[in-house]
Amino acid sequence: MARAAELHRERGEKTESVVTAGVTADQLRSFVERIERLEEEKKALAEDIKEVYAEAKSEGFDTKIMRQVIRIRKMNEADLQEQEELIDVYKRALGMLPDVED
């Protein structure tokens, strides 16, 4: 049984072990603190990104366009065209592509 089940026990159930409950609370606290720490770092990075945009803007660049370019580069790299062929089959069936000769 996962130890966290201890936290979820129905009221009125007998506590199995004070020690176990303590461990569980410590474990939960550890998870929460790890998450909160990671979120802080993530937030700091978001601020760094904002600063770079601000710097670019102060140099005269259009940040809106920059964002679009970055988004497009991301899409290209993700290369969503897996299953491309089957999609084409359906598109053809819908008249979205010219018919081909088999």
Residues that bind DNA (CB under 7 A): 39, 42, 46, 50, 53-54, 57-58, 63-64, 67-68, 71
> Two tokens at 59?
């140099």
Identity of the amino acid at 63:
T
Distance CA 87, CA 81 (A): 9
> Two tokens at 12?
């009125």
- Site pattern 23..52 for its own copies (x: CB under 8 A): -xx-xxx-xx-xxx-xx-xx--xx-xx--x
Identity of the amino acid at 32:
V
Quick check: 57 and 63 in contact, CB under 8 A? yes
- Binding residues vs its own copies (CB under 8 A): 1-5, 7-8, 11-12, 15, 24-25, 27-29, 31-32, 34-36, 38-39, 41-42, 45-46, 48-49, 52-53, 55-56, 58-62, 65-66, 68-70, 72-73, 83, 86-87, 89-91, 93-96, 102
